[in-house]
């Protein structure tokens, strides 16, 4: 099953999300706290909203409640972000593909924490990605195949201390069984040159970031 997570980060271009994300079919749309505002901005009615709702105006919350959205409240003082609680909910309900929007923005701490949460999904063998107007972010421990991304910038950033056996196809700067280390910017700003591109690794965890200017 596929789920769309809407968090409280930056959503600037509504048309982008409708043409690149919402054209896909999702079995569940779920908001993390202030993501309720982003859902309404995109003219979406979520199925579920989870959080402490400390960053959601009561009028927005009342709006989705009136539309029959299931509201699951958590205390403000807790040991996980609302986005992590949403991901735990989806894992518990056996969702296998999770797309996350509104997860990046001005709060660097939240942006980094949300990227790190891709590790939680990877550990559960759940396909996960974060997407905004400029970026798609994946975390892999084996391979990823990319279609119709020709001309995009592709950056590879080790998430583990070392990533061994990095091999790529369809990129301007090819890698063949390369070892990458965390304390290096070696993998930044490659270019996808083909309609089909592939990144494979033998050991470790690698962030794959596709960027659009």
For residue range 10-66, what is the model confidence (pLDDT) as tens digits?
999 999 999 999 989 999 999 999 899 999 999 999 999 998 888 777 777 888 888
Superfamily of domain 2-133 in the CATH hierarchy? Thiamin pyrophosphokinase, catalytic domain (3.40.50.10240)
CATH 2.60.120.320 fits 143-211, yes or no: yes
Provide the H-helix boundaries in the chain.
Answer: 14-20, 35-41, 58-66, 82-92, 108-116, 118-123
Q: What is the pairing mode between strands 2-6 and 97-101?
A: parallel
CATH 3.40.50.10240 positions along the chain are 2-133
As a whole number, the mean pLDDT across the chain is 95
The verdict on pTM exceeding 0.75 is yes
The residues, ordered by sequence, that sit 6+ positions from 40 with a Cβ below 8 Å of its Cβ are: 60, 63, 64
Give the per-residue pLDDT at 59. Answer: 79
Query: What integer is the mean pLDDT of 62-83?
Result: 88
Sheet holding 135-140, edge to edge: 70-73, 48-51, 28-32, 2-6, 97-101, 127-131, 135-140, 206-211, 153-158, 190-191
The residues, ordered by sequence, that sit 6+ positions from 96 with a Cβ below 8 Å of its Cβ are: 1, 2, 126, 127
Burial of 21 (0-12, 13-18, 19+ CB in 10 A): middle
Give the per-residue pLDDT at 66. Answer: 84
CATH 2.60.120.320 positions along the chain are 143-211
Which among 79, 83, 74 has a CA at the least distance from the CA of 31? 83
35's tokens: 């993501």
Mapped onto helix, strand or coil, the DSSP state of residue 63 is helix
9: confidence class by pLDDT, cuts 50, 70, 90: very high
């Amino acid at each position: 099953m596929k789920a769309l997570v809407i968090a409280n980060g930056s959503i600037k271009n509504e048309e982008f999300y409708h043409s690149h994300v919402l054209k896909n079919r999702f079995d569940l749309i779920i908001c993390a706290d202030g993501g309720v505002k982003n859902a309404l901005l995109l003219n979406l009615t979520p199925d579920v909203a989870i959080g402490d709702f400390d960053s959601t105006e009561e009028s927005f919350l009342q709006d989705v409640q009136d539309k029959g959205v299931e509201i699951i409240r958590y205390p403000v003082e807790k040991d996980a972000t609302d986005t992590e609680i949403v991901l735990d909910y989806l894992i518990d309900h056996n969702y296998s593909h999770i797309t996350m929007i509104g997860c990046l923005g001005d709060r660097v701490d939240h942006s980094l924490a949300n990227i790190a949460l891709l590790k939680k999904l990877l550990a559960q063998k759940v396909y996960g990605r974060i997407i905004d107007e400029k970026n798609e972010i994946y975390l892999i421990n084996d391979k990823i195949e990319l279609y119709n991304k020709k001309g995009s910038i592709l950056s590879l950033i080790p998430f583990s201390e070392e990533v061994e056996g990095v091999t790529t196809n369809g990129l301007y700067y090819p890698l063949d069984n390369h070892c990458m280390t965390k304390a290096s910017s070696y993998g930044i700003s490659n270019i996808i040159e083909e309609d089909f591109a592939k990144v494979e690794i033998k050991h470790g965890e690698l962030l794959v970031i596709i960027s659009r200017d």
